[in-house]
Chain A
Amino acid sequence: MVVLEEPLKEIVKIQNYIDGDWVESESSEAREIINPATLKKVAEVPEGCTEDMQAAVDAAADAFPSWRKTTPLTRARYFFRLKTLLEENFETLARVCTMEHGKIIDESRGEIRRGIENVEVAAGIPSLMMGYNLEDISRGIDEILIKQPLGVFACIAPFNFPFMVPLWFMPTAVATGNTYVIKPSPWTPLSMVKLMELVDEAGFPPGVINMVNGNVAPVQEILKNPEIKGVSFVGSTHIGRDIIYKEAAATGKRVQAQCGAKNHLVVMPDADLDSTISSLLSSFFGNTGQRCLAGANLVMVGDDEDWNKKTITRIKDAASNIKIGYGLEEGIQMGPLQAEHRKKRVVGYIEKGLEEGANMILDGRNYDSSGYPEKCFLGPSMFENVTEDMTIAKDEIFGPVMSIMRVTDLDEAIQLINRSEYGNAASIFTNNGKSGRMFQYDVQCGNIGVNIGTAAPMAFFPFSGMKNSFFGDLHGQGRDAVEFFTENKVVIQRWP
């Protein structure tokens, strides 16, 4: 099998990128970044501290007055240059992502592409940022709406999409005239190091885009620092709702906190099985289940036992054949969990499912990791006879576990979904347009898929979310992002 060349040959000692320079952290503590497939150490990243974040915020605040006066057209041109550099380094970025996260190379390339798409959208900022006006609101008096940047923004990024998620926010924030600080996940910081190298090469003025590594201390500083006008967060509901949303809002910051999920995928008896099964496999087991749009509960509709049995058997057979191993081997279809403790957490849920009486039809604890160390690997698991009250039907597992539930009709499926505390995504597989419309109309989730297993909005649409899956008013990406990163100023003028 072809193993792609690893772009990181030596252990990377990660620094912060502040005010256009690579600088050492003030923190003396560091953690090791381990490739979860090979268990080889690939980097060391500082734990970070308040002082690091303060320095970055000061640099960003200093850069803001000049950057906001830089014309939108000029700001856009920086992103054109960045886009070119990202394309030139596409494959390296994808392989670095696989090395630090474990996802397969196809998934990493998909992640890089979606990151680049956000840069492309930001390059259209001269049009996106236009305000509007109306003359003669009263005779001789005109009213104008102007969109203005606010100052320094920051993002707190998750481990599961180390490259893409910061790019949901940073390009639009910076293109609209704000300055920015990225706080990568302490588990997967390398993708952002690579991005900052390209930001530097693209020639962004010092202080406009900064990166501070670390864990808790830099986050606490983001939440309390008055210079920071807004925070974008992607992560768990507990952290997003109880810490980020509450504490940042308490200091008057804008907040968009995209949080946990428990996504239901509904299969109608009229669905095309070939394409549906392919979509289901990717949704439930792609990225090793570590994404907020991953399928979690499979809802089979109808009382046709033969159809149900046939469909589940086909899914199980296909899932059993998923090849597990290192994502830089091209034939691998599923990588490891990102870290050992994440695997233990998923195994805990599998055991909980058994305890609570679900019927396990595929045990992911038995797997072949293609010769790689087993520490972080786990195969796909499938449970049948899962009921709504079971823990595995309610909690976000964030791993390759499929819980199968049965309902009699689409109404019941929609009610089941709407009773969930989460509202991130849901999908239906059907050949019936009426069922599809009813689903999109009635389901209380922000991202809906119709014959799409992973309903991930493109860069020019907001990444939506409802209920315990989102806290804030304006989502990441699309027009929502432009609104989030700008203040609307209204001018009413009369010239006598």
Chain B
Amino acid sequence: MLQTTSQLLSKHQAIEEKMADLSNSLAEKYPEQAQVFEKLAKDSLRHRDMALRAYREGVTDAFEVGFLANPLDPEDYVLQEPIGDLSEDAGTMISNMEVVIQFCIDAANNSSTLLPDVPETFMRLVKRKKRSIEKLKELA
């Protein structure tokens, strides 16, 4: 179970990097749509860094960092490998993006009593990721 801020950030880092890897693979698989997937990969890594920076620059012993209100189950946030044609793969990536969005929402809600900058950043990421879903829907 994820019950510390550090664990939340590590899990977030892992799923954003996985999203970036999957997106880069699809960019190679579909050269005509490479731009869309490369942008997706770049965004994932940027989002990883945004959350990490919010944590690193906000973490302080003045506030509460070690106690999450409701622990999260990491198994609830597993990404699928896209293994179909373009339309199916775009659908898989939409599902994956929804998983990442759900993680960000859950992380924000359960860390709201902790470092204020971290949940705020997770919610900003949710908005950005919803825009990416619209791009993927054009391919699905």
Binding site for A on B (CB under 8 A): 1-7, 10, 56-67, 69, 112-114
Contacts and interface: CB of A to CB of B under 8 A. Distances in A.
Contact of A456 (B7, B57, B62, B66): B62
Classify chain A: how many residues form its interface, as a range: 35 or more
Interface in A104-123: 104-107, 109-111, 113-114, 117
Interface in A74-91: 90
Top 6 nearest A-B pairs by Cβ distance? A282-B64, A456-B62, A110-B61, A106-B65, A278-B113, A275-B113
B66 A114 contact: no
B65 A113 contact: no
A334 B7 CA distance: 14
9 contacts: A2-B7, A110-B59, A110-B61, A113-B57, A322-B67, A330-B4, A334-B66, A452-B63, A458-B60
Contacts of B67: 278, 281-282, 318, 322, 333
B126 to A, nearest CB: 21
B116 to A, nearest CB: 11
Given A107-B65, A113-B59, A282-B66, A333 B5 contact: no
B124 to A, nearest CB: 21
B61 A453 contact: no
A106 B56 CA distance: 10
B61 A114 contact: yes
A331 B62 contact: no
A330 B64 CA distance: 15
Nearest to A458: B62
Interface of A: 2, 90, 104-107, 109-111, 113-114, 117, 161, 164, 274-275, 278-279, 281-283, 286-287, 291, 318, 322-323, 330-334, 452-456, 458
Contact of A279 (B1, B10, B64, B112): B64
B3 A453 contact: no
Contacts, number: 94
Secondary structure at the A interface, as helix, strand, loop or mixed, is helix
A278 B119 CA distance: 15
Among A111, A113, A279, which residue has the most Cβ atoms of chain B within 10 A? A113
Given A113-B60, A161-B61, 17 more contacts: A104-B4, A105-B6, A106-B4, A113-B58, A114-B60, A278-B64, A278-B113, A278-B114, A279-B64, A281-B67, A282-B66, A286-B65, A330-B7, A332-B4, A333-B4, A455-B62, A456-B60
B61 A107 contact: yes
B3 A331 contact: yes
A331 B66 contact: no
A461 to B, nearest CB: 11
A453 B64 contact: yes
B138 to A, nearest CB: 37
Contacts of B61: 107, 110-111, 114, 161, 164, 286-287, 291, 454, 456
A455 B63 CA distance: 8
A14 B74 CA distance: 41
Nearest to B111: A278
